């Protein structure tokens, strides 16, 4: 059983930065697809960034390209999301997700991954 625990959320002013962490426990391997998605009140879930463990291939939502960076630390078994130049529209609950998949590790796949964390809140004020 894989468990995911997010941390690092908080409140920040627009233009600021936050780094989210997702501690992953349990067995994972190179076939794992991992990433972050978010959900704002009254809105649909949105895939933010994903990464394939084997080749570090990444995908980003257009809304965060150039501002967010996803990375993984194999030694620590931790997934990160560095968020810079935050905007009010980045406000929401951010979730970490992961699963073994042989298909594309894109943002659409991310929303259907088997394992998910409880989320960490990000609030960006003006």
- Mean pLDDT over each residue of the chain, to the nearest integer: 94
Share of the chain above pLDDT 90, in %: 83
The tens digit of pLDDT for each residue in 48-57 reads 999 998 889 9
Tell me what the mean pLDDT of segment 85-104 comes to: 95
Following DSSP, what letter does each residue of 94-115 receive, concatenated? EEEEEEE-SS--SHHHHTT-SE
Residue 116's Cβ-side half-sphere holds a number of Cα atoms within 13 Å equal to 16
- Give SS3 for 89: helix
Tell me what pLDDT residue 102 has.
87
Cα(113)–Cα(9) distance, integer angstroms? 22
Cα(108)–Cα(123) distance, integer angstroms? 24
Tell me what the mean pLDDT of segment 19-47 comes to: 93
Q: Is the pLDDT of residue 105 over 90?
A: yes
Tell me what pLDDT residue 50 has.
97
């Amino acid at each position: 059983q894989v468990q995911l625990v997010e941390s690092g959320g908080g409140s920040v002013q627009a233009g600021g930065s936050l780094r989210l962490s997702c501690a992953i426990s349990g067995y994972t391997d190179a076939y794992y697809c991992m990433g972050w998605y978010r959900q704002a009140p009254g809105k649909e879930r949105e895939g933010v960034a994903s990464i394939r463990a084997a080749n570090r291939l990444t995908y980003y939502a257009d809304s965060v390209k150039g501002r967010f960076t996803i990375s993984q630390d194999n030694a620590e078994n931790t997934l990160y999301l560095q968020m810079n130049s935050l905007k009010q529209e980045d406000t929401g609950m951010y979730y970490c997700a992961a699963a073994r998949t042989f298909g594309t590790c894109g943002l659409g796949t991310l929303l259907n991954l088997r394992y998910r964390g409880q989320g960490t809140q990000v609030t960006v004020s003006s």
